[in-house]
Amino acid sequence: MPVDPAAEQVHLLFLRHAEAIRGYVTGLAGGDLALADDVFQEVFLVASRRADDFRVGSDFSAWVRGIARLKLLEVLRQRSRGTGFAEDVLGLLAAEAPADENWRIHQHALQDCLGRLAPRARELTEMRYVEQLAPTAIAARVRWTVNAVNVALSRVRRQLRECADRRLAQDAS
């Protein structure tokens, strides 16, 4: 199964590119993780329905990114005004998004760096990214100010970004 070999092929490619597709959608969704998850699932459905449109051997990533961008625009239009980036900004970002291979390499580097986080930083990160708590909710839980939480999360991301950059530079040398 499935009966349709085109759908079979698309499903397989989608699974292989899943993290890059999810990252691409997250970026266009303004970093809104919940919105990105919703759109990601919708993209899978649309790609499956349109599997016959995909030509084997052509650029799957470009094809599915096109679907993702349109689906995100559709979702944003259905939501209240002021949600997400303006369409012209989306277009600029979409054109300059990292390639799938870049996502994969970066994920490897990030994986190494995660283990180096201090316990408190890890705790905050998990509240934000696992439980998907907003900074206000995290602040209430840890009894910090919201600003302190924002600063701490920013530091964690910067620390990880710098660590990942170092890793990538080492790998390249």
Of the ranges 55-63, 66-74, 92-100, which one interacts with another protein (CB under 8 A)?
A: 92-100
Q: For residue 66, give both structure tokens.
A: 């096109």
Would you state the structure tokens that stand for residue 80, as one six-digit string? 């209240």
Cβ–Cβ under 8 Å, residues 130 and 114: no
Nearer to another protein, 8 or 63 (CB): 8
Q: How far apart are CA 153 and CA 147, in angstroms?
A: 10
Name which position in 63, 141, 144, 161 contacts another protein (CB under 8 A): 161
Chosen residue from 6, 73, 75, 110 binding another protein by CB under 8 A: 110
Among 101, 107, 117, 108, which residue's Cα sits nearest to residue 157? 117
Q: What sections of 50-173 are H helices per DSSP? A: 60-78, 87-95, 100-114, 119-129, 135-142, 146-172
Q: For tokens 């969704």, name the residue.
A: 29
The single residue among 6, 63, 85, 141 that binds another protein, judged by CB under 8 A, is 85
Among 63, 73, 75, 104, binds another protein (CB under 8 A): 104
Binding site for another protein (CB under 8 A): 1-3, 7-8, 11-12, 14-15, 18-19, 22-23, 26-27, 30-33, 36-37, 41, 44-45, 48-49, 82, 85-86, 88-89, 92-93, 96-98, 102-104, 106-108, 110-112, 114-115, 125-126, 128-132, 134-135, 150, 153-154, 157-158, 160-161, 164
